[in-house]
Amino acid sequence: MRHQVSKPRSILGNVREIRSSAIELVVLAILLALGINLISSTIFEAAGATLGAILGGALALGAAAFAAYRRLKSRTVCHEVIAVFATTRGLKYGESSEGMETKLTPIPIPDYRFGREFADGMLALFAENPAFERQWNSEPVDKPPHDHSNRNRTGGPQLVREMAEYVVLDTLSTHLTDYFNHESFDPDLLEEFSRDDVPQVVLRNRVLELFSRDFKDRPGFQAQEEEKSSGGGQIVSMYGDGGQYFNMFELTLPKGSSIERSPDGALVIRNQSVTLAIRVGFRGFATFIDREFSHLYIGIPRGIRDSGWRVEIQFEASVRRGFVAYGRNLAYHEWLDSFLEHASNRLDFEKFQEDIDWRVTRAMLRCLNVTRPRKPSEGRKGFSIMRTTLSSAGDLPERSTPPASPPKGDAGQPDDS
């Protein structure tokens, strides 16, 4: 069934309008009550002026309170993003893997953030710790479990969930850094979270725990450490010689925020004003990727069997009634709307295909009879991203993400060999 790509509904976008309209409602209710009071004054003469004033005031205040309650209620928005990653076993269509030593290999999808970072992350995970590769191959995602009711099985499916959550967290981290990296935000009203601040989050995700661990305590980074130590600044992201990956974990949030795990495993960010819950689900469902996209865009050789896999990412955002009514520093919480739209643009696979206008591109390629594929990415090794020393204590850090193509060649260019 085709996934309907929709823009996430804004949860904070019209708070200012709601507040002003609530005041207008109160004023209108009072004027209406006065008018009714003048019309019905003769009715209350028999009951007495005091009782009439009490009843009229109660009715006016009750109407105003009801109108305000309806307008200033707490708000919740649920939005789902369908992300996709690609794999191949190196088999041709029609071939059986029985009796053959084949491995399921994640394949990066160029320029699509989720598909690229997922595959690159898996290759880096396998390069540093072969135990993860054994788990991936012992219970691969393309082999259904004997017990279909067991959705929390380990092996490949569990690694998919943890890697997908890591990609979402990294997307959130870079977005928050960019959003709050502006002089209009007071650093005293912001708080930076590192891996040491949220151990309950880090330890529940093995991918996050490994990639954010200090590279000085891990093999494969010695050459880069010696090379960069004389350059000054701070290393925030780096690949080792063997394909290992280090990425500093940090989240910039409004002061008073907390990051925790819910009982169902969701990642929850909350403060006194807003709450965001992130849930990542993978149930082993394949999804359709057309052959031309696999061959011409990803670069998988024609005839080689490949698969696309569906990952469901659910965002549940809520705003408390008190903040809608009188909350301060609205701009410090509007990152929520901004991130929901950013996540939809960067992680949703059909949105990515719409952005590159794949349907039109495919039609043009068919008309031109283009059959030469691009060269698939092979991962990245031996480069790093540094953050220079801040010019002043009030400046917020800048973050960068690794470039989309490896240093050994441009995965975006056709292979002329």
Query: Residue 325: pLDDT above 60?
Result: no
Contacts (Cβ under 8 Å, ≥6 apart) of 80? 312, 313, 314, 315
Looking at this protein, which amino acid is placed at residue 409? G
Can you give the pTM of this predicted structure? 0.76
Q: What value does the mean pLDDT take over residues 183-196?
A: 93
Please provide the average confidence, as pLDDT, over all residues in the chain.
78
Question: What's the alpha-carbon Rg for the chain, to the nearest Å?
Answer: 27
Strand partners, 97: none
- Judged by average pLDDT, the poorest of 177-181, 230-234, 258-262, 304-308 is 230-234
Look at residue 175 in the predicted model and tell me its pLDDT. 96
Query: What's residue 416's pLDDT?
Result: 43
Range 289-309 average pLDDT: 88
Q: How many residues does the chain have?
A: 417
Q: Residue 142 contacts by C-beta under 8 Å, 6 or more apart in sequence?
A: 87, 89, 104, 286, 307
Q: Lowest mean pLDDT: which of 139-143, 177-181, 296-300?
A: 139-143
Residues 39, 33: Cα–Cα separation, whole Å: 10
Dist. CA 88–CA 304, nearest whole Å: 8
On the question of pLDDT at 399 being above 50, the answer is: no
| 201 Cβ contact list (under 8 Å, min separation 6) | 208, 259, 260, 261, 267
Residue 367, beta-bridge partner list: none
One-letter amino acid at 329 equals N
CB-CB contact of 149 with 382 (8 Å): no
How many C-beta atoms surround the C-beta of residue 50 within 10 A? Answer: 9
Lowest mean pLDDT among 39-48, 101-110, 162-171, 233-242: 39-48
Report the range of poorest mean pLDDT among 7-16, 22-31, 166-175. 7-16
If pLDDT is split at 50, 70 and 90, which confidence band does 371 have? low
Q: What is the mean pLDDT of residues 221-241?
A: 73
Whole-angstrom distance, CA of residue 115 vs CA of residue 349: 8
Residue 97, classified by CB atoms within 10 Å of its CB into exposed (0-12), middle (13-18) or buried (19+), is middle
